[in-house]
With several copies, the nearest count.
Chain A
Amino acid sequence: MTAFRVELFARYAELLGAEEVALELPTPVTVSMVTDALRALPGGEVLPARPVLARNLRIAAPADTIEPGDLLALLPPLAGG
């Protein structure tokens, strides 16, 4: 198992009622495993099927592998500018 934390922002932080979530998943962990685990949390059911996850400050692909210590963040649709 690998333990890690995912930062949440804006509407997604509101939906899940937290700015950070701690997860533990069987190694090797992929991005889609993380987003599926977030969607299984209370409030997570309204997340899109493939929400955007950033890994080490870059948008990650669903099949990317998560390493221990990676910076993870779930990104709602961007609305800057």
Chain B
Amino acid sequence: MAALTTEPIDQTALGALVLRPGYGAVTSFVGHVRNHHGGRSVDRLCYSAYHQMAERECAAIAEEAMTRWEVVVAVRHRLGDLVVGDIAVAVAIGSAHRAEGFAACRFVIEEVKRRVPIWKHEHYADGTSAWVDPTAGVERSESEGP
């Protein structure tokens, strides 16, 4: 199942994917677009990806989690134009036990942020925009003026 999508992410549907008759626990994490970043007011943003590598990394992260814990994993990351409140990323973990579900969910979201080649272009209320660089705060885009 593809991890990247340009369609809105349906959390309930994602949870249903990891439900098994013997697995009662579904732990999830959903990241929504926030209305501010680095002290600036965010209007909308655009996610882009190195598609082939991003899919490969998401699949590898899910595999790693399923090797480490007895869990079922589903991950989705949205691409394209999003507005404040939209779901950007969602992780759902099905498991028999809560502790495993929480551990795997945290692992997957951390690894997605660390390893999956996705980029975020933020557009601010003042008309400016920037590529987000978590290693250095917000960089001003070279292509669009203040």
Contacts and interface: CB of A to CB of B under 8 A. Distances in A.
Contacts of B49: 9, 80
Secondary structure class of chain B's binding surface, majority of residues: mixed
Interface in B92-146: 109, 112-121, 131-136, 139, 141-143
B74 interface: no
B56 A57 contact: yes
B88 A76 contact: no
Interface residues of B, number: 33
B91 to A, nearest CB: 9
Given A73-B50, A79-B133, A10 B116 contact: no
B119 A10 contact: yes
Contacts of A79: 118-120, 131-134
Interface core residue of B50, B77, B131 (most chain A CB under 10 Å): B50
A81 B88 contact: yes
Interface in A2-17: 7, 9-11, 14-15
A75 interface: yes
Interface in B62-97: 77, 88-89
Range of interface residues on A (Cβ < 8 Å): 10 to 19
B50 to A, nearest CB: 5
B131 A78 contact: no
B48 interface: yes
A80 B50 contact: no
Interface of A: 7, 9-11, 14-15, 46, 54, 57-58, 71, 73, 75-81
Given A78-B117, A80-B119, 18 more contacts: A10-B121, A11-B131, A11-B142, A14-B131, A14-B142, A57-B52, A75-B50, A76-B131, A77-B134, A78-B114, A78-B115, A78-B119, A79-B132, A80-B112, A80-B113, A80-B116, A80-B118, A81-B113
